[in-house]
Chain A
Amino acid sequence: MWDIMKTIREINQRIKDGDAVVVTAAEMTAIVRENGAKQAAEEIDVVTTGTFGAMCSSGAFLNFGHSDPPIKMSRTYLNGVEAYSGLAAVDAYLGATQPNRNPDIGLEYGGSHVIEDLIRGNEIELIAEAYGTDCYPLTEIKTQITLESINEAVMVNPRNCYQNYSSATNSTDETLYTYMGTLLPNMGNVSYSSAGELSPLLNDPYFQTIGTGSRIFLCGAQGYIIGEGTQFATEVERKNGVPVSTAGTLMLRGNMKEMHSDYVRGATMPKYGSTLYVGAGIPIPILNEELAQRTAISDEEITCRIVDYGVPRRSKPIVREANYHELKSGVIELNGVEVPTSPLSSQKKALEIALKLKEWIDKGEFLLTVPVEKLPSKGRTVKPLEIQKPRILVKDLKGEALILAHPTDAISEVARKMVQNSINHLPVVDEGNKLLGIVTSWDVANAVAHGKNKLTDVMTKKVIIAREEEPVDVIARRIDKNKISGLPVIDSDNRVKGMVTAEDISRLIGGD
């Protein structure tokens, strides 16, 4: 146990007297490196942190006020985005990722964009529907609201400020659109999302000062931590005291009427969905030498896993580990190749937030709070959701007789096989049954029309495949995405085991 050198009460007195010494987490790294943690702990009172990243688990409670005659809103739409209204008559919760109900707008203007528009003071169209009761007779209304005109607009974000987060890359040969941004094929880029050494929960990794009731910077307002966030974990692998992947999270609350659009933004991850860029900053009181040491952590000392989003499963394969100094350099080596990196969260705004919080404290406008309860620092793991219906894998599908073509087959022979078996695709294999390509009835027709008679001239060599161990749902998505009607099933030695078609899958999925 480290000796307490000062208390939050003493620090607050110094803030009021204008004597508190406040530095950002980035400055603290240099200070401790130069003077050591002991001296830094004596001299520094508060270290400010900051992050500005895409935080999907965000939203706002809104109270619209009562109309005359009144309405018990059971569905509400704000600029076309539905807010959850299964609360009291005129309360609703607007989630950041809710898409627009107009399919032409969809993901381009969702809940997060409404939140930004509210904070900017823009007028929002409110449509509400109700079933009508004796005390709430109206069944629909359509009106305009602003942040000013409604009673409360309180941002309550169930999960923000991930302590650390794995970076993403993509080993497949197609571009993936994810919540980690656009991932280029063949590990063409890496996207990371943490602010590294500036990030709030990496500077107090065991939650020694942070807890329920901690006053923080939230989107330009003074907000609060109201507890641990969802999917909170403590029992994780650590290096230099900090988790190497996801661990702690925060539930945050702030008054939207005091927020500023400089520090909160509606956004859309292309082909993924809308999300809210949330600006958060947490002050860490330097109560002892250990906290001075912890807040001095540098980008080099924070490890982050790079995982492969090419595998759409709960646990994704780890490609390598890296530190934030490497990631922020702009290129990182993956399997001997230099790959460009993208931050995804704004490093510039993270620093701006840490500086703004420092300015507030310097000016005496922001006082620290003693948390009423610390966040759990041990014993928490994240539970998976087990799906009760057993997952059906590709290999569980009942395959029909395996019909194959060989490169030497004549086109007429291939055409005959297709007609006889009433099939549209034929995998082309070598003697060892290894996949060489695929030929469709369209290719055969094409060959006949152009007088080609070699199968290798008309078959498609770049084949989209299904592996035996893959869940059928993943294959359904692949068929849909590539607009194909079937694909060959391959075992781990690249041998063709059968074909799976869109009909096989719809029969299966439609059957329950």
Chain B
Amino acid sequence: MKAWLTFSPNIVSKPIISNLVKNYDITFNILRADITPKGGKMLIEISGTQQKQAIDFMGKEGIHLNPINKVVKKDEEKCIDCGACISLCPVEAIKPAEDWTIEVDDLKCIGCSFCTNSCPTRAIRVME
């Protein structure tokens, strides 16, 4: 599962992530992190059998979790299937289909925004 975590500044210094991994047998992949003195936002990929318990634990610790299915959103009306984005994606999440429709694989996407910065029609955006 992919999710955005938002947290306040007072917990930036707490060892929450390591406790999570230790206590709930989950694997935890940080895809993006924007941490400032005012708190932070992290895009994570989390998997394991005790996901639910892990999420409850985070809630108690003051981390707000927003599950997401899509990291980037492609506006199909704006997209002209030019494919300029394909080779910029570091994780090969963008591929042409048989008929050259350009498709983004949400499972692979890590929200790096390389594609969004280079799309000639601004059709693709990282979801907040």
> Which A residues are within 8 Å of any B CB, using their own CB?
52, 54, 108, 181-182, 184, 188-191, 265-270, 275, 277, 330, 339-349, 351
Contact = CB atoms under 8 A, between A and B. Distances in A.
A347 B96 contact: yes
A191 B101 contact: no
A184 B121 contact: no
A189 B87 contact: yes
B80 interface: yes
A330 B96 CA distance: 9
A268 B122 contact: yes
Interface in B97-113: 99-102
B85 A342 contact: yes
Given A267-B120, A267-B121, A270-B118, A347 B83 contact: yes
A52 B100 CA distance: 13
Contact of A343 (B83, B99, B117, B118): B83
Interface of B: 80-88, 92, 95-96, 99-102, 114, 117-118, 120-122
Contact of A182 (B92, B96, B117): B117
11 contacts: A54-B82, A181-B120, A182-B118, A189-B87, A265-B80, A340-B86, A341-B86, A343-B83, A346-B81, A348-B102, A349-B80
B100 A347 contact: yes
Contacts of A181: 84, 118, 120
Contact of A277 (B82, B85, B86): B82
A401 to B, nearest CB: 44
A245 B58 CA distance: 58
Contact of A348 (B87, B88, B100, B117): B100
Nearest to B89: A340
Q: What is the interface of chain A mostly: helix, strand, loop, or mixed?
A: strand
Given A184-B87, A347-B81, 18 more contacts: A52-B80, A54-B82, A181-B84, A182-B114, A191-B87, A267-B80, A270-B120, A277-B120, A277-B121, A330-B95, A340-B87, A340-B92, A341-B87, A343-B96, A347-B96, A348-B101, A348-B102, A349-B80
A343 B102 CA distance: 11
A346 B80 contact: yes
Contacts of A266: 121
A345 B82 contact: yes
Contact of A268 (B86, B99, B120): B120
Contacts of A347: 81, 83, 96, 100
Contacts of B83: 342-344, 346-347
A345 B114 CA distance: 19
Contacts of A189: 87-88
Contacts of B84: 181-182, 191, 342-344
Contacts of B101: 348
A365 B81 CA distance: 28
A80 B114 CA distance: 29
A144 to B, nearest CB: 24
Contacts of A344: 82-84
Given A184-B88, A189-B88, A343 B120 contact: no
State the majority secondary structure of interface residues on B: loop
Contacts of B95: 330
A346 B82 contact: yes
Contacts of B121: 265-268, 277
B117 A190 contact: no
A349 B87 contact: no
Given A191-B87, A346-B82, A275 B99 contact: no
A347 B118 CA distance: 18
A268 B84 CA distance: 12
A346 B86 CA distance: 12
Nearest to A264: B80
Contacts of A182: 84, 88, 114, 117-118
A267 B122 CA distance: 8
Contact of A330 (B85, B86, B114, B122): B86
Given A184-B87, A342-B87, A269 B100 contact: no
A6 to B, nearest CB: 33
B42 to A, nearest CB: 25
Nearest to B121: A267
Nearest to B78: A265
B93 to A, nearest CB: 12
A112 B24 CA distance: 54
Contacts of A346: 80-83, 100
B55 to A, nearest CB: 36
A343 B82 contact: yes
B78 to A, nearest CB: 8
B86 to A, nearest CB: 5
A351 B87 contact: no
A386 to B, nearest CB: 33
A188 B122 CA distance: 22
A425 to B, nearest CB: 32
Contacts of B87: 184, 188-191, 339-342
Contacts of A348: 81, 96, 99-102
A345 B118 CA distance: 14
A108 B82 CA distance: 18
Contacts of A342: 83-88
Contacts of A190: 87
Nearest to B95: A330
Q: Determine which residue in B83, B92, B102 has the highest number of CB atoms from chain A within 10 A of its CB, and name it.
A: B83
A190 B83 CA distance: 12
Contact of A54 (B85, B88, B92, B120): B120
B31 to A, nearest CB: 20
